Structure 1
């Protein structure tokens, strides 16, 4: 290895602390190497305003960023700049000193900010005549472009969030669809399938959206997005319905009226749900379709189970606060009961199990494992 003379950069004062070292996980290294080999663009974006912990986003994943101190100082060195004539070829220039690296860890997208920003902007049947884009000077609008820049999520995760949270993109303005209106559109869609003798696994998109607009005044810009949320739109112009997704949303439409202070008998709810989906799909109605959205309680007096609306999406996003709310609601849970309420804060089952270990105590009773609260919660 040739010897080199070390010199500090003439601009060392200005360049101090301007370099950061990021340790890439194996999957990011693989993506980067593939992009270089194929001469393809490789996009990384750091997102977060000054009040937020920054995250790094690829096209489809989000990573939290954590600074880890190094036991030894690393020097960032480069060849002399082309404009520097006072250095020989054997010189390298010290540009900065690094005492930490940035560690990347997969994390769930942070979309609660989006939900808060769109609160009060619901779209329902009163907006059906709004076929022209609103004047941005007349109303406060939050656009898809703004969401891509400001929300701490990859583009793919943001699009999935819009689908899962039922957020419409109307003339580039993001607006959550009102649950009652969404249920009405789905009910009308099922009715149109029957009236036009269309198959739910291969229905013409043009005929469906045209009938919904002509006979029921549902704008195509709305019906197209709803069909995309609840099925597959093919390039050939056909729609294949995701039956479970449609049944789930219709079931939640009934259950939303029955919060904890107004529970509904389980069998009564199931009968109403079957009636809502019609004879074609009645035998596919199961409680698993609405997991993470309800509480089930047994009554020792009437011997009849009741259900109440309890959506995971209304719980805090911070793990400690979420577990606190869960155990205030119910003192102990089985793993299959509590798991659906953790999917939004855990990237996978391994992360979920870590959270259970951190915030819960497992108790085995007659072969059944129950999770109870630990004495204290630490953030």
Structure 2
């Protein structure tokens, strides 16, 4: 069962080793109720009846009883691994995130975990003052008695499982009000929502580090404190300004000077937008104290292709390849493998066609992702389907293992293909 998190719930964190160590804790004796604690004489008599030798036990005796305000509804137990325990011990925060219609997840600074309720046949007692064996005083010859009270109990606890961040909603939120340049910020745009980093963290089920990485992948930019995604037409306008300047100055695509770009183009667009465009499509480096950018040919060609495909349901492949090559900056070469994960070629149609299929628009859950893909195409080669499922792989998974589990393989015209294991 996946939990939703009720308001006002107290979460108690425990390492797995804690519960395993109580068998070595010496003697735990239950009191007879609030205010009625056992004495050492009564404990010795109980041990004698149970035929236990006190010499085989630690001399410290913890006598527990129920407090007057004991409750099972105010607390929930959560089991942490060593990594998350170290996060807590070092002062970091663990945050539970999720809207009312979402299953709760736990986020550290850089990872996301699914929460799952695990039932246990043993009653779990919440005793703040109870001590584990390593916290007990050193062995002494005389028995020592301490009293502890039970403040709560539970029959289940939350298990954590490392999971992928749920980031699909991020693009949807940012596309509510894309940035179309300074001239596009009219009164209509001001009515649509904009989000700060803190507001996105409230809405997105991901750690802060995972969120920031996805913002970078979406080429989002922080404008006046709000994260905005650029309208594709405006992004291509910025890119065209840069590539036209490169062509007019006869620069190499691997050596585009930042300072001259900003000086030459600041009358057309804001300097920060020009620099953002260079960061999206190039990699900065310093040479003799001056900053240069090496433009990424694959990224430039991919964005030009997306611009051509955005309004076409399907595009004749041969015509597309011709128009695509003519549309990219002179000196760059287009290849279909630049479009993995954003466009798909149908080689079985006559004539062959290409259409946009962006992995960012597919469902996040594994089974739903495969269902969606097999709705689009009944049979897939591994080369075609791999870009659309590789992001689903866990830490020790491969696309091959996912296909083995969620698809059925067969051979068609001498080529291995994959189809759905269930009716779609």
Which residue among 201, 205, 222 is the counterpart of 1:148? 201
Instruction: Give the secondary structure class of the aligned counterpart of 1:10.
Output: strand
Structure-1 residue corresponding to 2:316? 264
Structure-2 residue corresponding to 1:53? 103
Q: Unpaired segments of 5 or more residues in structure 2?
A: 1-57, 131-143
Measured against aligned partners, the alpha-carbon deviations of 1:142-193 in whole angstroms (never above 9, x if no partner) come to 2232002221112222122222223332212233211122122222212222
Q: Deviation at 1:203?
A: 3.2
Structure-2 residue corresponding to 1:113? 169
Instruction: Give the secondary structure class of the aligned counterpart of 1:20.
Output: strand
Q: Cα RMSD over matched residues?
A: 3.2
Q: How far apart, in 2, do the equivalents of 1:352 and 1:16 lie?
A: 43
Q: How far apart, in 2, do the equivalents of 1:296 and 1:114 lie?
A: 28
Instruction: Give yes or no for the alignment of 1:21 onto 2:78.
Output: yes
Q: Deviation at 1:130?
A: 4.9
Q: How many residues align?
A: 350
Instruction: Give yes or no for the alignment of 1:280 onto 2:338.
Output: no
Structure-1 residue corresponding to 2:406? 359
Measured against aligned partners, the alpha-carbon deviations of 1:85-108 in whole angstroms (never above 9, x if no partner) come to xxx961122232233332222222
Structure-2 residue corresponding to 1:84? none
- Structure having the higher Rg: 2
Structure-2 residue corresponding to 1:336? 383
Q: How far apart, in 2, do the equivalents of 1:271 and 1:158 lie?
A: 38
Q: Unpaired segments of 5 or more residues in structure 1?
A: 81-87
Instruction: Give yes or no for the alignment of 1:170 onto 2:217.
Output: no
Alignment map for 1:137-216 (pairs within 5 Å): 140-214=193-267
Which residue among 53, 78, 88 is the counterpart of 2:128? 78
Structure-2 residue corresponding to 1:122? 178
Q: Deviation at 1:5?
A: 0.5
Instruction: Give yes or no for the alignment of 1:96 onto 2:152.
Output: yes
Q: How far apart, in 2, do the equivalents of 1:152 and 1:272 lie?
A: 40
Structure-2 residue corresponding to 1:368? 415
Q: Normalising by the residue count of structure 2, what TM-score does the alignment of the two structures yield?
A: 0.72
Cα 1:210–1:149 shift into 2, 3 Å: farther
Structure-1 residue corresponding to 2:37? none
Q: How far apart, in 2, do the equivalents of 1:312 and 1:91 lie?
A: 59
Q: Normalising by the residue count of structure 1, what TM-score does the alignment of the two structures yield?
A: 0.79
Q: How far apart, in 2, do the equivalents of 1:354 and 1:17 lie?
A: 42
Q: How far apart, in 1, do the equivalents of 2:199 and 2:94 lie?
A: 17
Instruction: Give the secondary structure class of the aligned counterpart of 2:177.
Output: coil
Q: How far apart, in 1, do the equivalents of 2:161 and 2:392 lie?
A: 14
Cα 1:281–1:135 shift into 2, 3 Å: closer
Q: Deviation at 1:309?
A: 1.7
Structure-2 residue corresponding to 1:4? 62
Q: How far apart, in 2, do the equivalents of 1:349 and 1:337 lie?
A: 22
Q: How far apart, in 2, do the equivalents of 1:95 and 1:28 lie?
A: 25
| Equivalent pair of 1:64/1:105 in contact (CA under 8 Å) | yes
Cα 1:198–1:93 shift into 2, 3 Å: farther
Q: How far apart, in 2, do the equivalents of 1:102 and 1:353 lie?
A: 31
Structure-2 residue corresponding to 1:254? 308
| Equivalent pair of 2:168/2:360 in contact (CA under 8 Å) | no
